[in-house]
Each structure stands twice: as structure tokens, then as C-alpha cells.
Structure 1
Amino acid sequence: MASEPVKGPASYFPSIEKKYGKPIAEWQQIVRDRLPAKHMELVAMLKDEHGMGHGHANAVVAHALSEKG
């Protein structure tokens, strides 16, 4: 039986790592370092300062915020 395909924000991670050259853990740390900022402020930061596309930035932020305790 095949494993379930990755869904949600994590489904973007392989292409984010390949396109932007940093592991997801590094991108998530960049997001956490800017807290407490709002979701869309963090997305805008990734887009403006790191050249990330909207969908990729949104996926990183959503995942990082879901993991913060």
C-alpha cells in the first residue's frame, strides 16, 4: 500500500528548498524571528526581502505558525 501523499503547506517544501536554496527549518526560523507579526506581514516579508512567491511564502508562514507553542 502506498503512503499518503503530503498535503497542506508541507507539500510545497521540496520545491521551496530547491527554488530558494535553504532548508525549510531555516525559512521557519526566519519567520519565528519576526514574531509577533501577523500572518500576512510575515508573508510580505518573505516576498519582499527574500523574493519568495506568494504561495510558497504563505505555506512557510502557515506551517511555522502552526508549530509555535
Structure 2
Amino acid sequence: MSEPVKGPASYFPSIEKKHGKPIAYWQELVRSSPLTKHMELVAWLKAEHGLGHGHANAVVAYTLAQDRAR
């Protein structure tokens, strides 16, 4: 039996369901943005793309963590 997904990725199914786009789409938006700070990116996703705070925060946190690990 697999363990439940924890952390930011636990939001991904509801983000995809609510907004109709895969997480890769949101990650590419974050990566292509000229903004670099976490909260700037969160505010941008909320204002320009209609994500709620929790969803925007999850996408940004996960994407930035992935990019730091590379």
C-alpha cells in the first residue's frame, strides 16, 4: 500500500480538477515568469490566473524546490 501524498503535491489533484490544466502548465508559468520571489509568484498566480492562495502557494513551493534540487 502506498503512502498518501504529503506537502504541496497533495494539492495537485484539486488544482487540476478546479482549473482544468495539468500541474506542468502551472509550473511552466512559474518558470517563465520574470518574478523570482516566492510570495511575488504566489500573488501573481492569484491575481493574473485566479488561483486561490493555497493552490498558488503549493505550485510555487513545489516548483521552486524542484528547481533548487537540480
| Letter matched to residue 49 of structure 1 | E
User: Which consecutive segments of 4 or more residues in structure 1 shift more than 2 A?
Assistant: none
Name the structure 2 match of 1:37: 36
For 1:21 and 1:40, locate their aligned partners in 2 and report how far apart those are by CA, in whole Å.
23
Q: Which runs of no fewer than 5 residues in structure 1 stay unpaired?
A: none
The number of residue pairs the alignment matches comes to 68
CA apart distance, 1:21: 1.0
Q: Which runs of no fewer than 5 residues in structure 2 stay unpaired?
A: none
CA apart distance, 1:37: 1.5
For 1:10 and 1:49, locate their aligned partners in 2 and report how far apart those are by CA, in whole Å.
22
Could you state the TM-score of these two structures normalised by the residue count of structure 2? 0.92
Q: C-alpha deviations, 1:18-69, integer Å up to 9, x for none?
A: 1011100010000001145200000001000011000000000000001113
Name the structure 2 match of 1:64: 63
Percent identical: 72
